[in-house]
Amino acid sequence: MARVAHSDEAKRAPQSPPQLFRFVEELQGDLPWGSVLDAGTGTGSIRWVSSLPTARWTAVTGAEGHAVQVSDAVAAVRRRQDRIVLGNWADPALLAGECYDTVLADYLLGAIEGFAPYFQPRLFARLRPLVGHRLYVVGLEPYVSHEPNSPAARIIWEIGRFRDACLLLAGERPYREYPVQWVIDHLYASGFRVVAARRFAIRYKARFVNSQIDMCAPRLATLSDRTLADALSARGEALRNRALDLIDREGGIRHGFDHVVAAEPIGT
């Protein structure tokens, strides 16, 4: 993909909490996993996929450095038939002619903005020929698009805006999340029927806060305006302190939702 990979690429996207994967397993029930495509792989999703009784799996990522992280994460359990592919879903040749029983799009919709800008409305149609039986879409409800109305919402909103500002100043594209209703509407428009959908409340912990602030440091180091970089760095540390204080007081920052949507191709 047309972007330089960073060693901390995995910190850019959310990590699916175990409860989301457990819900996917509940939805799958007795249906065999068969061949599985992890269409937007990460270390969390690939560890989960590799733990399933699959016939084979293929994991796709757009960042070379991320591919190495994913490979390392499953080195001990990877089989000869399993593969990791570096590619861009905007490329029609990627996995052309292939089909998988189960496809997982784990935070792929939001992440694809950094690799194929404006491609989101076409993503599910692009995946449609690859889905043999079931597509699972895991995503994050947007949390930086509206003025916050609570202390928890405000600090998450401010951290998100700070992170995205640092990425833009460094010449990168922030991820762009979409609400679950957008996902459902575009699945139907792309030839799927939705069989289940659920939102899961989020409680952010220190790991999230630290990862979001820490990922900005290497970006700020590239800025030629050191006065601006120093001011942003100080802003980040102030946000970190406020957020960690809130976590200490409240046991976490309760704000926003993840979502899981299960869909099947119409006509199968």
Average pLDDT over residues 211-222: 96
CATH of segment(s) 1-142+177-202+256-268:
3.40.50.150
Per-residue pLDDT, 3: 26
3-state helix, strand, coil in the chain (%, to 5): 45, 20, 35
Per-residue pLDDT, 4: 26
| Local confidence band at 17 (pLDDT 50, 70, 90 cut-offs) | low
pLDDT of 62 strictly over 70: yes
Strand pairing report for 253-265 and 192-204: antiparallel
Ramachandran class of 251: left when φ > 0, alpha when ψ lies in -120 to 50, beta otherwise? left
Q: Nearest-CA neighbor of 257 among 204, 202, 209?
A: 202
Terminal Cα distance for the chain, rounded: 32
Give tens-digit pLDDT for 134-178.
999 999 998 766 678 889 999 999 999 999 999 999 999 898 899
Per-residue pLDDT, 267: 80
Per-residue pLDDT, 143: 78
Are 26 and 136 in contact, with CB atoms under 8 Å apart? no
Amino acid identity of residue 68, one-letter, is: V
Per-residue pLDDT, 153: 92
pLDDT of 13 strictly over 60: no
Residue found by looking up tokens 């007081």 in the block: 249
Report the predicted TM-score, pTM, of the whole model to 2 decimal places.
Answer: 0.89
* Two tokens, residue 185: 């509407």
Per-residue pLDDT, 15: 56
Average pLDDT, the chain: 91
